[in-house]
Copies of this chain bind each other. A is one copy, B any other.
Amino acid sequence: MEQTLTISIQDYLKHIYELTDRGAPASTNALAERLKIKPASVTGMIQKLAASNPPLVEYQKHQGVTLTKDGKKAALEVIRHHRLLEAWLVQTLGYSWDEVHEEAERLEHVISEDFERRIAAAMGHPLRDPHGELIPTADLKMPLDDSTPLSALRPNQTGTIQCVKAADDELLRHLESLGITPGASIEVKEYSSYDHNLTVKVGKKTSVLGLNITSKIFVEES
């Protein structure tokens, strides 16, 4: 006895937002993969989102899709919910940073604006979630990162970890065990061009990390 579960518009917009954050439009295939549905279904829904009033996406055949102003607002609303919830679950219910994602993923769609305001206020309007991701402000703008622009790990770098953009829970637990969490001081040492590994030192621990990992760790240089 299972009920049809269809992907919410919020989820479409959220994933388009994430796929387009470097400016380029999101492709049908990329969206389909993320949403775990077939590309043909994505095309269908995108055409509706583009034809809706107000239009939520900008769409040209074969050229991919971007968000309109309205679509972006709706996306930032959900992202704000998600990141506030992650912070709140960690702070008030003792979740660890690898456990929060799934729970927030479900809650983000159903909480009221009132609930959002209450948890934001209760936490003193935090700037970042437990992974270090910026939380969109109440007026739905992504805060400009006024600090030194973040960069993924680079050789011969010393600084503070700002953000760990990993989705995989197991990886998050692994990184935590290495001391790699937002706020930690990190020293990046040698780079092996042979196997694309970086050696990093956090506290007393030295680890060798592959590109698949280092590309997800963002540091503010000091």
Contacts and interface: CB of A to CB of B under 8 A. Distances in A.
A152 interface: no
A118 interface: yes
A110 B115 CA distance: 15
A118 B106 contact: no
A96 to B, nearest CB: 11
16 contacts: A1-B9, A1-B48, A1-B49, A3-B9, A92-B92, A92-B122, A93-B118, A93-B119, A93-B122, A94-B118, A102-B112, A103-B112, A103-B115, A106-B112, A107-B110, A109-B110
Nearest to A115: B103
A79 interface: no
Contacts of A9: 1, 3
A222 interface: no
Interface of A: 1, 3-4, 6, 8-9, 48-49, 52-53, 56, 92-95, 99, 102-103, 106-107, 109-112, 114-115, 118-119, 122
Contact of A8 (B3, B94, B114, B122): B3
A115 B4 CA distance: 24
Contact of A6 (B3, B92, B106, B122): B3
